[in-house]
Amino acid sequence: MLLAPYLRKFGKFTVPQFIGDRFYSKAASTVAVLCLLVASLTYIIGQMTGVGVAFSRFLGVTSETGIYAGMGIVFLYAVFGGMKGITYTQVAQYCVLISAYIIPAIFISIQLTGNPIPQLGLGSNIVGQDVSLLHKLDMVVSDLGFANYTTSDAGGMLNMFVYTMSLMIGTAGLPHVIMRFFTVPTVAAARSSAGWALIFIGLLYTTAPAVAAMAKTNLLRTITPGVVMGNADPYAADSQLVYEERPDWMKRWEKTGLLKWEDKNGDGRIQYYNDKSKSDAFKAKAEAAGWKGNELTVNADIIVLANPEIALLPNWVIALVAAGGLAAALSTAAGLLMAISAAISHDLIKNVFVPEISEKNELLAGKISMAVAIVIAGYLGLNPPGFAAGTVALAFGIAASSLFPAIMMGIFSKKMNKEGAICGMLAGLFVTLFYVFAAKGIFFIKGTEYLHLIGGPNSFFGITPEAFGAIGACVNFGVAFIVDKMTPEPPDHIQAMVEAVRIPRGSGAVTGAH
């Protein structure tokens, strides 16, 4: 709501264009292109992973084959669609996405708690029991050796606060989101579209915790019959699902390779206990029940798509969720590819390296850059750095630490100069990437050990790499203002332009001022 109207009034069409003109520097524009490419490519890895999961399930193939199919469809869809085509299809896709996410959540909430509002169902009692859904889930997962579901976030309260901040300001810095506000017809339309977007985002994001908890509950209800919906002993043999009697949804997901079972104790039943538990009491009970290690591996990326199948919802609901999953991944991938294409062909090649390039060759360069981005994203989707949502969170953090501060300072600080903006963006980007790679570990070619440059994972006050974007943004702001104080002010015409962008059109008519 704060950024969109000013960006639209500025009159440019991409984030690097805005930064290049506002900070009167091709170098600033080039650095913005670098930040955009890193954030967009990281984001698109998660989308390709999601496309692969959806196609693998509904084509009945492996997840790798699903990613190849997704790469082909995204290529045709983005390369031949153009900005206008992609914009209109995204409207339809977003309607499908919202419906596909909300409707199953309502069904499952009614099924488990009798409450049709998922956000309220999350705290309601389970049908037929005098215990809330979350409390029951805590009881079951702790019995199975896992940490309490409601208090198991890595890093604790500080990490969750920084994570939330990173996601929030990262959203305001994502180039494919910001591009939409450049292309609406008026400043009023930019403000209105931002408001409606926030309403729908709020609807989806407040539903997400309910979807997650209910999916976990239904998964455990399948694997440990009688434990979730009753009070059966999770260590008793009759509380463990016989593998040959597993439901059809498990058989279908096994074909993708994203759900696997290994009978470690040879009893033909599925034992789903926590291998990493440090509780001696749990280990004693589990080993007495014949436990020799967790036997079921469930890829986190399948949960949203598998959720309606696990809950045995009608086929049309399952199909709707499939359509929603594909719509979400395809629409976001197309928007990201459009941002990458414009950044390379227009902001980098035309504005910096080859100013005399023809429109035909500029368009060709954009299509080639899209194709290369799809190949890179497909390769990294086949070898992802983490599960899809975690990879997307890294992209939000990169956008938060690099582009968001530059956009904010460009609008609200007329004294911010090009040197400050450039140094700030580079500092925010590299400190975030350093923390991510160092926390994940740097691989030694000659061995299999990992070198943690900064004292191990989450070593900065327990903050996870996915949440570090907000810290990177603080570094960006700090470096920018320090460098700004040590270098000349922006030219007068730049300062006047920033003032003009912030003044509502027609404001002088009231006082007669000009």
User: According to DSSP H, which parts of 81-185 are helical?
Assistant: 82-113, 118-121, 133-143, 156-173, 175-183
CB 18 within 8 A of CB 10: yes
Pairwise CA distance, residues 261 & 249, whole Å:
14
Q: Calculate the dihedral angle through the C-alpha atoms of 130, 134, 138, 141, rounding to the nearest 10 degrees.
A: 110
* Residuewise pLDDT in 10s, the chain (514 residues): 778 788 888 877 788 989 999 999 999 999 999 999 999 988 988 888 888 888 888 788 888 888 888 888 888 877 776 666 666 667 777 788 888 889 999 999 999 999 999 999 999 999 888 899 999 999 888 888 888 888 755 567 888 899 999 999 998 888 877 777 766 778 788 788 888 888 888 898 899 999 999 999 999 988 888 888 777 888 888 888 899 999 999 999 998 888 999 999 888 999 888 888 878 888 888 888 888 888 999 988 888 889 999 998 988 888 888 888 777 777 788 778 888 888 899 889 988 888 898 988 988 898 899 889 888 888 887 877 666 677 888 999 999 999 999 999 999 999 999 999 999 999 999 999 988 887 765 444 434 444 455 555 677 788 888 899 999 999 999 999 999 999 999 999 999 999 888 776 654 444 444 4
Give the pLDDT confidence of 383-440 residue by residue, as tens digits.
776 666 778 889 999 999 999 999 999 999 999 999 999 999 999 999 999 888 877 6
Task: Enter the tokens of residue 478.
Answer: 């700090």
Distance of CA 420 to the CA centre of its chain: 29
pLDDT at 27: 94
pLDDT at 225: 81
Q: What is the mean pLDDT of the chain?
A: 85
Angle of the 175-183 helix axis to the 15-22 helix axis, nearest 10: 80
pLDDT at 478: 97
> Which has the closest alpha carbon to 409: 481, 486, 489, 494?
481
Q: Which CATH number fits domain 4-215+313-508: 1.10.287, 3.30.2310, 1.10.275, 1.20.1730?
A: 1.20.1730
Give the 3-state secondary structure percentages of the chain, helix then strand then coil, rounded to 5.
70, 5, 25
Give the pLDDT confidence of 38-76 residue by residue, as tens digits.
999 889 888 888 888 888 887 888 888 888 888 888 888
Residues in the chain: 514
Pairwise CA distance, residues 330 & 334, whole Å:
6
Pairwise CA distance, residues 149 & 213, whole Å:
8
Residue type, position 513, single letter: A
pLDDT at 455: 57
Task: Enter the tokens of residue 79.
Answer: 């390369």
Residue 443, strand partner residues: 450
Mapping DSSP to helix (H, G, I), strand (E, B) and coil, where does residue 267 land? Answer: coil
